[in-house]
Structure 1
């Protein structure tokens, strides 16, 4: 006869796993895969390496869990965006601004993506689940584009992936090039007025592009 775990034990386990993921995200984003140490993650969470291995199996599995969780964050944010019965131009602007806000508020995500690209996708290539997880990104865009075309306000020669590339590349730039671009052009992307300006700009760029004949 198997004994079911008590609800409070299950909640504690979920909290512990979430805390480990949050701290591991910071450590991997700061130090990369090679530089990150499981000992440091254990110390920051006041737990043990043994506990980390219990939940994730090892450093590699922990890193891949961090990657998957980071991508899940932006996908879940996109799914929470209500675009039904919203003017498609307004909906597209909201999606662009949501992506901008998420990337600036979750800069560890961008650093993880940069690190993974430095390693030529060595670990993300083992996460087939992310292909399924990424489909909503284009499905939301497909829905908005389809309604915009029906109304005759969006051009017909642009695909959802095209729009995703434009929005994503712009938003990633704000984080990935913050220090070099800031030094060269004396601009601070984190200054509130500058951030608001850049946020409006991506909405203007995408809407202007899609409504241009």
Structure 2
């Protein structure tokens, strides 16, 4: 009589094992991006070292290059991650759609607060500007990430013009540059300004007042309807 050659049923769970490996890979990738963000923000693109990222992540260099083809590829994804965080903040906007002044104030506050909450973002932008945006130009998704903010700003501005509460000559591009500048300058120059002005610009109360101040400056400019009246 021949022996039964039927193999015993597998006891493992390939689907679960595969899902676990996927989660672990995603976690490792995110860890690399988080550490790399700090490295690039602190040392700039040229000064950042893959070896430093490897040491802090406690992984092999080969694993970094398994997920990211090069230092530049890693930096581009760091920038995409940073812009993605800003897009998520914009998604939190609670716009009424009825009151353009209140909606603009909300947009300004959220934008400035993002700069405050994500200081590495400002430093990453600084190092990328030194390279004349050479790296983010290679990203296909960063422009798309900026679209929601651009559209929201444009729509609020145009609604305010139609209702006669915003000046007609206001330009959304100039407006965004002003919001970004007013919101980030005191942060990117915090230490030198704190020294020469003999004040701690990082103090909690000072930061909170700054957010209100920027929002008031922007809305006061926009609501100066006579100042924007066509002759």
| TM-score, normalising length: structure 2 | 0.85
Moved more, 83-92 or 69-78: 83-92
> Which sections of structure 1, spanning at least 5 residues, go unmatched?
none
Partner of 2:107: 95
Give the SS at the match of 2:91. helix
**Superposition deviation, residue 47 in structure 1:** 1.3
Tell me if structure 1 keeps the 8 A contact 2:109–2:215.
yes
Name which of 177, 188, 192 aligns with 1:165. Answer: 177
**Superposition deviation, residue 63 in structure 1:** 0.8
Matched pairs, number = 211
Equivalent residues in 2 for 1:1-213, closer than 5 Å? 6-85=18-97, 87-213=99-225
Give the SS at the match of 1:157. coil
Moved more, 140-149 or 55-64: 140-149
> Which sections of structure 2, spanning at least 5 residues, go unmatched?
1-13, 226-231
Q: How far apart, in 1, do the equivalents of 2:69 and 2:98 lie? A: 45
**Superposition deviation, residue 180 in structure 1:** 1.2
**Superposition deviation, residue 29 in structure 1:** 0.6
**Superposition deviation, residue 80 in structure 1:** 2.3
Q: How far apart, in 2, do the equivalents of 1:12 and 1:143 lie? A: 42
Q: How far apart, in 1, do the equivalents of 2:98 and 2:209 lie? A: 24
In terms of Rg, which structure is larger?
2
Moved more, 45-54 or 120-129: 120-129
Give the SS at the match of 2:202. coil
**Cα deviation digits, residues 71-119 of structure 1 (max 9, x gap):** 1211221122121445221111111111111101111110011111112
| TM-score, normalising length: structure 1 | 0.92
